[in-house]
Amino acid sequence: MNKIPKTHPRYFSLMIREKLSRGMKKGLVHETGLIAHGRGEAFDYLIGEKTISYAEEAEKTAAAVLLHAEKPVISVNGNVAVLVPEECISLARCIPAEIEVNLFHRTIERMKKIVKELETYGAKKVYGLKGDARIPGLDHDRGICDREGIFSADVVLVPLEDGDRCQALKNMGKTVIAIDLNPLSRTARTADITVVDNVVRAIPNIEKWVKTLKNMDDSVLMDMIESWENNEMLKNVLSFVSKRLETLYDD
């Protein structure tokens, strides 16, 4: 990978892949995480590998929800811990919010490695190892969580999520913010706010909006939150992709 020049048109994408490859070798990323990333990258191509206006608006609204929350928690899996560890920690401090590691392919060894990785980047408190609570309705290991973390949160930011946990969290009465490049996924259609953007762009963008909105009156935040229409946004994203594909090869 070191031989690939920065002028390579796929340089940034290749560096992300390399991070995930190294993360898998270190035991942070599960092998299926590579498949999930490839699927997301394909959708990133469709939107032009940039933050489109609909994602920017979702990121702004997500920031408002996180600031309005009483106990927000950022859920982190292996891919997120490898791609945006510093960014997640910085966002958590800015809000402020808690961080919890939550995995589908959960082992204590892998949990400890991810917690340690986040601590290496400066995280002071990371939930997830205790696993003393369970999200109702989830039989697999993503249902395991910390009572003081995700279980008692009112808002959960779930980058790179799977749809059944998203629905289960909503069934608990929680507001769910999802980061998902696939506007057709169960997660995207189930979440209260869906950010259709690459996680490496989305997390810094949400923090940017947190800083912008932090001193605003709570009534302003509530107006933004109450006016959000997630299904309408997803329709707009699909329309954007369709129009972009129609014009991509026009002379």
DSSP-based three-state secondary structure for 247: helix
**The pTM is what?**
0.95
Q: What is the CATH number of the domain that holds 208?
A: 3.40.50.12640
Task: Record the tokens describing residue 116, joined without a space.
Answer: 């340690």
Helical ranges in the chain per DSSP H: 11-25, 31-47, 53-68, 78-83, 85-94, 108-120, 163-171, 186-190, 199-213, 218-226, 230-248
Could you tell me the residue range of the domain that residue 202 belongs to? Answer: 53-242
Q: Assess if residue 42 is contained within a domain.
A: no
> What single-letter DSSP state applies at residue 183?
T
CA-nearest of 211, 249, 173, 188 to 93 is 211
- Residue 1's pLDDT is 53
Whether residue 95 contacts residue 40, with contact meaning beta carbons closer than 8 Å, is answered with no
Q: Report how far residue 173's alpha carbon sits from residue 180's, in angstroms, rounded to the nearest whole number.
A: 21
- Residue 49's pLDDT is 95
Task: Record the tokens describing residue 39, joined without a space.
Answer: 């699927």
- Residue 170's pLDDT is 96
- Taking only Cα atoms into account, the Rg of the chain, rounded to an integer number of angstroms, comes to 18
Q: Assess if residue 251 is contained within a domain.
A: no
Q: Assess if residue 105 is contained within a domain.
A: yes
Q: Assess if residue 143 is contained within a domain.
A: yes
Q: Assess if residue 23 is contained within a domain.
A: no
Element (H, E) at 127: strand 126-127
CA-nearest of 23, 48, 21, 40 to 199 is 40
Interacting residues of 74 by C-beta distance below 8 A, sequence separation 6+: 88, 91, 92, 97, 98, 99, 100, 156, 157, 159
How many structural domains is the chain composed of? 1
- Residue 213's pLDDT is 98
- Residue 209's pLDDT is 98
Whether residue 72 contacts residue 157, with contact meaning beta carbons closer than 8 Å, is answered with yes
Task: Give the residue carrying structure tokens 């490695």.
Answer: 113
Q: Assess if residue 58 is contained within a domain.
A: yes
Q: Assess if residue 198 is contained within a domain.
A: yes
What does the DSSP assignment read for 29-81? S-HHHHHHHHHHHHHHHHHTSS--HHHHHHHHHHHHHHHH-SSEEEEE-HHHH
Instruction: Give the chain's residues under pLDDT 50.
Output: none
- Residue 205's pLDDT is 98
Q: Assess if residue 12 is contained within a domain.
A: no
